[in-house]
Structure 1
């Protein structure tokens, strides 16, 4: 016969998944019922009990799901959660350069300057010799008319040239330079304004996501196929047309801003334990997940 001390020892040796499974079976709940109460897919609940962490994404997301499951069943995972091989959340390592030796800093600075000089010389020297050969070829300079001098009228051949009989020059169009003998026509330098191209309008009812922090997402289409399931980094954005998304799960929901047709969506009605779950209708509107 197994006494209470032996049972407590077995419970302490069991992992997170085994404890959660035992508590669920003792409460008479099925995987489907737990998934509905936690708003998790049944496959996620089963993976938690089987301790298949690699199927659930980032370690911070897995630990959050385990804590939500434990709160539902009122189970204290205790040291089991700390000993679970989920993967620690490692903060970025900061490398200090305040103690870099002075000689090393000088050498690095000289190396960067030498590289800059070498690149500049490689670009400037060939260009100099190429343009020098072109100008040394002795090509005649083009004859151009000054933009500030109005030339005198040209006398008509075969007739006396006088101020009284010389025809008045025709009015030049605005922006053009009057023609002079042996001088080419010079076009106006006035820029012609062009209408700005209109920006393409966003589709009506578009669903836009702005990430201000890392977030694990699971986005599925209306037919159940996966649209995107990954850890999205801070600063990235996503945009979906109406009818493209059927259901959405956002980890670290407080770091995600959702906009529907340009209006910010309040995720608090769909959020639990910093995980938001909601459905998206064909017109892009957001609704709670139906049980």
Structure 2
């Protein structure tokens, strides 16, 4: 609360205070009775009648209490208020602190840098963990037995190389050799086997018909697993697009058994693949 000094509050007993005292005496009221009716302390009523405004406080309070006293006695004191009590001046707020412009710019840049670091710390790990889920392009491999055209055709004028000695025919079930970063895997699994080749990180669970977990865990790129189908298996593959499933030498398309890139299917003992219940 801000109190005005007595130098800004003018008044004497011959003005408002005198008129109120004379009106109270004419009405036959005591100071105590007036204080009770106005719910004011007795010393405040006496200060109003004697013109001691500084005892009451700021001029806005003095004006309010004088008007309340005047209404009680039916006296008009408005003509005396401006002459005796200085009008209330608004409080002027002055700022005593000033931040230089370069300091404000540095603070703004610092806050933005913090936001960028926090956003990167959240977004980058999520993107690295999920980017393989959105890649539908299968990795391409190059056959090692393919001969480049420039190597197959001898230079003009050079003698033709002697014919190569005949080699033994390849086995019927041997496939072509391919260049790949993945470790070598068995490309022709035996009948009655389920082979899982992992081209990326994937969670795997294989359960027997009796509910026993055969194997489960997080597989890494390049891992492969082989399971016997003699008893039938129930398989769950997370990040299914990164897993190649082979059954009896044939690749199984897991797209019909996927939901949200998670494949669930059952391989019976006879090799048939059905959706998992």
Scaled by the length of structure 1, the TM-score of the pair is: 0.30
The structure number with the bigger radius of gyration is 2
Scaled by the length of structure 2, the TM-score of the pair is: 0.31
